[in-house]
Structure 1
């Protein structure tokens, strides 16, 4: 008996990932195995492959779309997520200040008839306060136009050129940067020695990029304001497509990975985390099949510009996404306003999304949606 007791007291060694080859295609990634590995610490942000990140982002968005279609289940899951931060949804709603009082509408006045002409007062519904030629409701976005991008692409002159990622315009002439500098004693950058001397790497007690109760209360109250809701409703119209593309979310992400291979794993996970916050925690973005594609483009583009040093040119990425360069700029600006220009998240929040929020979302949907189906 004592021998058995001694054996049972020996702590088991935690499971570790054995040597495996990285997936060469999206079909080689098993969602159930990936969720198990992340939940048990076998897979972390440091050893995820880009196909793993695509599956995480695709699954997150697909589950949110299914969950938002069932309002009761969505509210239940949202309560659980807010409780993780010590926040009660009912208490938050009580904390939210009421919208500002609006002036009472004046009764409609009958039209004033003149002997020469008929003039309507400003209170008449036939009078538009919008400038001439401008619609009060922005039109829906046109469908995405995907070009067939092969390894060789015809240029305007008819020559065959290889389709590759291009760097930003600011780095196009980086090789000749030293030749253009007239004063060699003052380089156009800060030397690393000065940065090390003047930089402080001590950890901050309460970094601004982490979420706490008070910050989230203020952010939630800000998004519940009447003016903010009106702005958000107008911003969301640019993401809605007239026609759903013939690609699934997974195929769309694989297309982006194929022709924009420099996008890192961190950018995909960061984009999924930002969309999870907007759609679930703040509940200001109703995710649908008609707006998810443009939200993917905007979130990945903003995350890439924020996290990466070198990224693809605007025109090249717009071609991959099936939109014009002008529309890509509009999507970026609209997404920044949706996020209130808060793209930086702390390491704790980043890891919490991967190890907790994503896992709990997958398990909740698998238990409540897939079982019923």
Structure 2
């Protein structure tokens, strides 16, 4: 995810509604927009980091979160999968975003296609444990994430020690990250408009992922 250039101003309540973190009245929000915005930010960060590593001919620092090869499941589909099967609150994805930032700030690791999936499943699981009243255990999250329970247990402990167990997130920091994600939506729209004007279409796979099959390459 990289370190965010955060604004000093607090997020307005409208931002929480636009991200799908807070519903208006009793309206069902469905799939919250924060998922696609976070996916876009992650994909852009991964692409930028891998380009820089390739141009500089350097290798990233290898950690427990690195796989031998990039998973076939895309970042957006992986995040959608976690949301679908974990049932965690949308706010957990923002908190997980903050946790991963803290992890990256405490190390020389770059977010790449080799580590982003493991960092996601680990940080979201930890966020759910810290934020939600009810949550699934590690074995369930491991099945959703496509890794073994033993591996997820190791990843969780490594992650927690790496961020010095700093799980508390202030309202101010949470709001600032939400503001950054809303800006991501505006930037994505600016890019999408000229593409639509040129009538450029892109093909995406619609392969069903309704079963908890393995998604991360060992």
Range class of TM-score, shorter chain: 0.5 to 0.7
Q: Deviations over 1:142-170 (max 9, x none)?
A: xxxxxxxxxxxxxxxxxxxxxxxxxxxxx
- Whichever of the two has the greater Rg, that structure is 1
Instruction: Decide which of 176, 181, 187 is 1:352's aligned counterpart.
Output: 176
Specify the alignment match of 2:207 in structure 1: none
Shift of 1:318: 1.0
TM-score, normalization by structure 1: 0.40
Residues 64 and 287, structure 1, Cα contact 8 Å, conserved in 2: yes
CA shift for structure 1 position 274: 2.3
The structure whose residues are more often helix, as a share, is 2
Residue 335 of structure 1: how far off its partner (Å): 1.1
- 1:316 is matched with which residue? 140
One of 57, 62, 70 as aligned partner of 2:38: 57
- The answer to whether the 8 A contact 1:60-1:276 is kept is no
Structure 1 segments unaligned to the other structure (5+ residues): 1-37, 72-232
**Count of residues in Structure 1 that have an aligned counterpart in Structure 2:** 167
Residue from 38, 43, 56 that aligns with 2:18: 43
1: CA distance between counterparts of 2:96 and 2:18? 19
Counterparts in 2 of 1:1-373, with a 5 A limit? 41=15, 43=18, 45-47=21-23, 49-69=30-50, 237-260=63-86, 262-279=87-104, 284-355=108-179, 357-360=180-183
State how far apart, in whole Å, the 2-side matches of 1:360 and 1:367 are. 11
Structure 2 unaligned regions, length at least 5: 1-11, 24-28, 53-60, 195-218
Task: List structure 1 segments (4+ residues) > 4 angstroms apart after TM superposition.
Answer: 359-368
Displacement of 1:244: 1.6
Equivalent residue, structure 2, for 1:220: none
Deviation, 1:68, is: 2.7
Q: Indicate the SS of the match to 2:63.
A: helix
Structure 1 CA distance for aligned equivalents of residues 47 and 63 of structure 2: 21
Structure 1 distance, partners of 2:145, 2:39, is: 16
Deviation at 1:338, TM superposition (A): 2.1
Q: 1:276 to 1:63 in 2, by over 3 A?
A: farther
Cα pair distance change 1:277/1:68, threshold 3 Å: farther
Aligned partners of 1:305, 1:54: CA distance in 2, in Å? 19
**Counterpart contact for 2:18–2:33, Cα < 8 Å:** no
TM-score by length of 2: 0.65
Deviations 1:220-252 (A, max 9, x none): xxxxxxxxxxxxx5xx51100012221101111
Q: What displacement does 1:358 show?
A: 2.7
Q: Distance in 2 between matches of 1:367 and 1:264?
A: 29
Q: Distance in 2 between the 1:284 and 1:246 partners?
A: 25
Query: How far does the alpha carbon of each residue in 1:285-308 deviate from its partner, in whole angstroms, 9 at most, with x for none?
Result: 300001001001110011011111
Q: CA deviation at 1:316?
A: 1.7
